[in-house]
A and B are shown apart, each in its own frame.
Chain A
Amino acid sequence: MIGRIWAMAVNTAREAIRSKLLYTLLFFSLAMMLLGSVLSMLSYVERERMVQDFAFASIRLFSVAIAVFIGVGLIHKEVERRTVYTILSKPLSRAEFLIGKYTGLLLIIWLQVAIMASFFAGVSLLMGAPLGFTHLAALALIAVEVAVVVALATLFSSFTTPLLASFFSCGLWFAGHLTRDLRDHGANSSSALVREGTAWMHRILPDLESFNLSIEASHQLSVAASDIWFPALYGAGYVAIILASAAMIFERRDF
């Protein structure tokens, strides 16, 4: 099973690495980090923090963009081009196919995150901004967030068109960053319906803010081990649930 999933993953990675969109978004991400450095020079205070805030935002935004815009075509393209016919006639289950595609894309996006992170470290060192364990943790949690977004894009790609899948994925990404605030505001409401509704939304939708340690990193605040492990486990669980749902939907599809 592992061999078949790995074969699918390697092939997906080979295909993803040929995407022009990947390089375009990577270029813009690096350009935005440079822009942040230039803009920071105009500031008299907290230059280093500005550089790193820009860099974290850039890494998060562009790696999520890559995840969504390449991820939404992940399954759809295979069905459209009918490559799925020969692949699924082999002793490979549909779930293995899906997990292989997911893993392949995720590996490429993690490679992009690693490139962006290296650039971030270079820019930080150049600008004299501090680097520490919290920065590493913040970058690692961005990688977990990307894993959740790729899983969402894979889920939508397994049953709808790339356009709709990108709407759904982007929508969930925005919502995922708001659910925590929504729950906190809802908790102060006098309406039980609002309180319960916002609490359930927070439970069901991905809490993507739990993967955000960039403020702690750029302010050089220390973080507890649980601030890293808990979101990482939460992310892994969430990915498993989404991929299981995607596999169930994909299993029922006719090609």
Chain B
Amino acid sequence: MSASAEIVRVDDLVKDVRPGFGLRKKRVLDGISFRVREREIFGFIGPNGAGKTTTLKVLMGLIRATSGKASILGHDVSETTFRRQIGFLPEQPYFYDYLTGREILRFYAKLSGVSRGCRERRVTQLLELAGLSAEGNTRLRSYSKGMLQRIGIAQALVHDPQVVFLDEPMSGLDPVGRKEVRDIILRLRAEGKTVFMSTHILSDVEMLCDRVAIIVNGRIRYEGAIDEFLHAGEPEADLVFANLPAETATRLEERFEARLRGHGDHIELRIAEKDSSEALRVALDAGADVISATPHRVSLESIFLSTVNEADTEEDSR
């Protein structure tokens, strides 16, 4: 398979549900389309109720789409046998709590068709990967939430799948647990796996994902490389000065269309990166002291929020 091979392909997917006994249908997925490429970590982000889990359920064959197509590794998602090549961690997973960590992994390994010869070795490897070697013989009912999340990831990987789907993998984890899960995800990419991660924790997305899709109200609002997404506009810089004369500040504002903000005796200027050298020269000539000069980094959060707001405004105006 080439480096850009499409591992997941979703075309014009629609899902209508009928809440309660009512006759009115609610459209949960409204014609979504996206692609996940080989060996990438794909972030599927959106606010609560946007349709992330519904999309994952369609991909896992847990629900049927009303219309549209979805395939993984070239197989229609309604097929069963190709699931040997995929792993899935649902949101807030629940497992048979009367089984031990080792027993539950053995159970999932059997269901996934892992041969008897490899099973024990694979279970031991996965317990180690999840950091649960010492708790392998403890019943799951004594596991903490973080441990359950990690055993959930272990069951998704027990059959060494090619593609891994993780629904809110960091949900409810403390910072240490989140770091551990992040490390596991990075390790999967290093091993050449493709990871599809649904989440609303944007800092994790920024740290981990190669590409993202933003879903709001059942529609995809953006799909692309995270770098392109974060650096979509003209690059900007933040310059902070002390002792900048007021008239120079006004001149800089007018000449470079800079945005000014005052912080005590400090003045901050947000300016196009190409104009920053010239602005620094003007300020220094006027006797100002430079406190800092840094490229302005647009956070995923701010872009995400503006995308959600745009979608909401669009929805209201319909």
A contacts, CB < 8 Å to B: 3-4, 7-8, 11, 14-15, 18, 81-93, 252, 254-255
B64 neighbours in A (Cβ, 8 Å): 252, 254
Pick the contact of B80: A15, A18, A91, A252 (CB < 8 A). A91
Docked pose: A4 CA to B114 CA in angstroms:
10
Of B2-10, B54-62, B182-190, B247-255, the one touching chain A: B54-62
Which of A7, A91, A255 lies at the interface centre, i.e. has the most chain B CB atoms within 10 A of its CB?
A: A91
B256 within 8 A of A: no
Contact, CB under 8 Å: B62 / A87: no
B144 within 8 A of A: no
Q: Which residue of B lies closest to A83 (CB)?
A: B94
B113 within 8 A of A: yes
Contact, CB under 8 Å: B96 / A86: no
Contact, CB under 8 Å: B63 / A3: no
The list of the 10 closest CB pairs from A to B, nearest first, reads A89-B88, A7-B110, A254-B63, A85-B90, A91-B83, A90-B111, A255-B62, A91-B84, A89-B60, A93-B80
Give 20 A-B pairs besides A84-B62, A86-B156 with Cβ atoms closer than 8 angstroms: A7-B107, A7-B110, A11-B99, A14-B98, A82-B90, A82-B92, A85-B93, A86-B155, A89-B83, A89-B88, A90-B83, A90-B108, A90-B112, A91-B80, A91-B81, A91-B84, A91-B113, A92-B80, A254-B17, A254-B62
**Contact A7-B111, Cβ < 8 Å, known A82-B90, A86-B88:** yes
B86 within 8 A of A: yes
Contact, CB under 8 Å: B107 / A11: yes
B80 neighbours in A (Cβ, 8 Å): 91-93
Q: How far is the CB of B143 from chain A (nearest CB, A)?
A: 15
Docked pose: A91 CA to B83 CA in angstroms:
5
Contact, CB under 8 Å: A87 / B111: yes
Residues of A contacting B: mostly: helix
Docked pose: A121 CA to B60 CA in angstroms:
51
CB-CB contacts below 8 Å: B108-153 with A: 108, 110-113, 152
Contact, CB under 8 Å: B96 / A11: yes
A255 neighbours in B (Cβ, 8 Å): 57, 62-63
Docked pose: A82 CA to B17 CA in angstroms:
19
A7 neighbours in B (Cβ, 8 Å): 107, 110-111
B57 neighbours in A (Cβ, 8 Å): 85, 254-255
Q: How far is the CB of A163 from chain B (nearest CB, A)?
A: 17
Docked pose: A217 CA to B165 CA in angstroms:
59
Q: How far is the CB of B244 from chain A (nearest CB, A)?
A: 59
Docked pose: A4 CA to B113 CA in angstroms:
7
Q: Which residue of A lies closest to B54 (CB)?
A: A254
Q: How far is the CB of A6 from chain B (nearest CB, A)?
A: 8
Docked pose: A81 CA to B94 CA in angstroms:
7
Docked pose: A81 CA to B93 CA in angstroms:
9
Docked pose: A83 CA to B98 CA in angstroms:
13
A15 neighbours in B (Cβ, 8 Å): 96, 98
**Contact A86-B90, Cβ < 8 Å, known A91-B80, A91-B83, A255-B62:** yes
Contact, CB under 8 Å: B98 / A18: yes
Q: How far is the CB of A166 from chain B (nearest CB, A)?
A: 22
Q: Which residue of A lies closest to B87 (CB)?
A: A89
Q: List 7 A-B contacts (CB under 8 A).
A: A11-B96, A85-B60, A85-B90, A89-B61, A91-B112, A254-B64, A255-B63
